[in-house]
A and B are shown apart, each in its own frame.
Chain A
Amino acid sequence: MSSIVEKTRRERLIEQLRMRKGLLFMLAIGMTWYAIFQFYPMTKIYWAFTNIGQVPPSQVSFVGLANFIKLFRVTQFRRSLWNTFYISFLKILIGFPVPIIFALLLNEMRISFLKRGIQTVIYVPHFLSWVVVGAIWYIMLAPANSPNAQIAEILGRKPIFWWASDRYIRGLLVATDIWRNAGYGTIVYLASIMSIDPALYEAAIMDGANRWQQTWHITLAGIRSVIVILFIIRIGKILNLFKQVFVLTTPIVRGPSDVLMTYAYRTGIQQMQIGYAMAVSVFKTVVGLALVLLTNWLAKKIKEEGVF
């Protein structure tokens, strides 16, 4: 009998595998997709260290860190790096608190049909594509024969072509980002407010806490870990800033709105400087990861739960 009980690890593994033949087959299908469309492209990371794209295919060779050194000598790269950080910084500074405030305000509402109505419409824009968001705001803000021109006329000013203005383009990117995503964030925070134990509020009322004190000490304290996690995720996305800028901007405003990934798109896809553009992507990935790990570490330092 003892031989059955004392199966070796290896035998147990084989038995588990045999029992799960069908499962392994499914796993194989799914992981094959990951291998081809995620990990195989990932291996191309070495392109960043070659001169592929700058020389004929037969002469491709390793050039060490030459592409990375070149990056920092190119003004367009430095500009796109600065723009990426600057626009993302504005988005976080202005956009990150908005859904938290919205959620707290919605949570204070007692008239349920108004609360539900606002909750319903507030995240409609989140499901619209950047193209549709852009189309709507290009039409609203057109320089002539538009609500924009109408308001300018009332104020007695010349209408501004906002989307073609170097001065306002970053502001528009921040504003449309908030317009599209603040409602979504609000619902996320509201969902986590709903999971706070109501007994905490009852106890606070017994102790004589007013509504403001309840909001501060129970509601905000209750969603603090969600705030921290979303903040870390947000930091990680800083350098991924791409689709919005790609869709909403035109070459007229490239100066203040060109970001790392739109720059990588131009050098990689349009000019086919593959090695160089790959260096831009690798730079983006490494710095992005470092930012996440740093924020995560900081969060743990101040005794918060991190993502990892």
Chain B
Amino acid sequence: MQPTKGEKIFNFFNYLVMGFFALTMIIPVIYILQLTFSADPNLDFRLLPKKFTLYNYKFVIQQGLLLRPLLNSVYLSVLGTVVSLTLTSILAYPLADKKLPGRRFFNFLVVLTIMINLGFLPKYLLVRDLRLMNTYWSLILVGGINSFNLILMRNYFQSIPDELFDSARIDGASEMKILFKIVLPLALPILATIFLFYFVAYWNEYFNVILYITDHMKYTLQVILRSMIILEEDLGASFAETTLLDNIKYTTVIVALIPILMLYPFLQRYFTKGIMLGSIKG
């Protein structure tokens, strides 16, 4: 069918408008990226570096400026993701069993925590009483299981045919073995999705770090980044003039972005799947 004149005009403006919005999503990121490769102190808008240099990265690496917060962020994200993913799978599996006595009750409890959220105060005092302040375990244990992720995984497990479990049980396999040897390999798409969700959540965490960590040596990239750029706190101006400090700020933004950008192709692949699964009402 030939498009009418009206449709042609509509199509033109459609591509124009959507293209514009799509560009506004990435142009600021490209702008900051080129700043880290620019030696020019003029920060006017541009998409390519002016007076190209690798000095900013070299300086940051040689001085080890971001090494500590970077390692902290990586440590927290990796350990947190492993613990959260394990806990979530271990609970999603029994909750998916249709014959488990009390299943409805436990599922109700999980949903309850989504609806009633009293905020950070009681958790903060709990962490203090458990003497977990200033440890990453405070963040990991409070992060623990995300109820949304748990429901996503449970729904996926429910879609696996019961016969698989039953035959494994008849063969005498223990439940742990069934989970790790049979269910999880079958559930790789959802595992990947939830792995990414947890990793991004831990990597991006800011508030809980501020809440539970007071030791500056344990601060993560996000905390350093906010204090540098938003609060404009002076993080030891002794070593350089202001322009250099500015360049370190931009470099920090990019360092905080890199893992997300590296994971982005995977996020994309599993993301739509995750949404589809999420739309199944449970």
Q: Tell me the A residues contacting B by CB distance below 8 Å.
A: 13, 16-17, 19-27, 29-31, 33-34, 36-42, 44-45, 47, 102, 105-106, 108-111, 114, 117-118, 120-125, 127-132, 134-140, 142, 145-147, 150, 163, 179, 182-183, 187-188, 191-192, 211, 226, 236, 240, 242-243, 246-248, 250, 261, 264-265, 268-269, 274, 277-278, 281-282, 284-285, 289, 292
Contacts and interface: CB of A to CB of B under 8 A. Distances in A.
B279 A192 contact: yes
Interface in B1-42: 7, 10-11, 14-15, 17-19, 21-26, 28-29, 31-32, 35, 41-42
9 contacts: A37-B142, A109-B14, A111-B15, A131-B256, A134-B230, A147-B31, A163-B230, A243-B207, A282-B118
A30 B87 contact: yes
Given A26-B94, A118-B19, A261-B119, A191 B275 contact: yes
A246 to B, nearest CB: 6
Contact of B93 (A26, A38, A45, A109): A26
A33 B106 contact: no
A290 B264 CA distance: 37
A268 B121 CA distance: 7
| 8 residue pairs, one from A and one from B, having the closest CB atoms | A30-B91, A22-B175, A129-B204, A41-B122, A44-B122, A147-B45, A27-B94, A118-B22
Interface string B260-276: 10011001100110011
Given A26-B94, A33-B144, A41-B126, A264 B121 contact: yes
Interface in B213-263: 222-223, 225-226, 229-231, 249-250, 252-253, 256-257, 260, 263
B145 A16 contact: no
B166 to A, nearest CB: 10
Interface residues of B, number: 90
Interface in B156-212: 169, 174-176, 178-179, 200, 203-207, 211
B69 to A, nearest CB: 12
A187 B25 CA distance: 14
Contact of A135 (B94, B95, B230): B230
Contact of A187 (B32, B200, B260, B272): B272
Nearest to A20: B100
Given A27-B94, A29-B87, A248-B230, 17 more contacts: A16-B99, A16-B100, A22-B178, A26-B93, A26-B179, A30-B95, A30-B145, A42-B122, A123-B25, A131-B223, A179-B24, A211-B10, A250-B230, A265-B120, A274-B125, A281-B119, A292-B115
B15 A26 contact: no
Contacts of A150: 44-45
A166 to B, nearest CB: 17
A122 B28 contact: no
Nearest to A145: B43
B176 A26 contact: yes
A155 to B, nearest CB: 14
Contacts of B276: 191
Contacts of A134: 226, 229-230
Contacts of A274: 121, 125
Contacts of B35: 139
Nearest to B118: A281
A243 B90 CA distance: 29
A204 to B, nearest CB: 13
Contacts of B206: 129-131, 243, 247
A42 B29 CA distance: 40
Contacts of B22: 117-118, 121-122
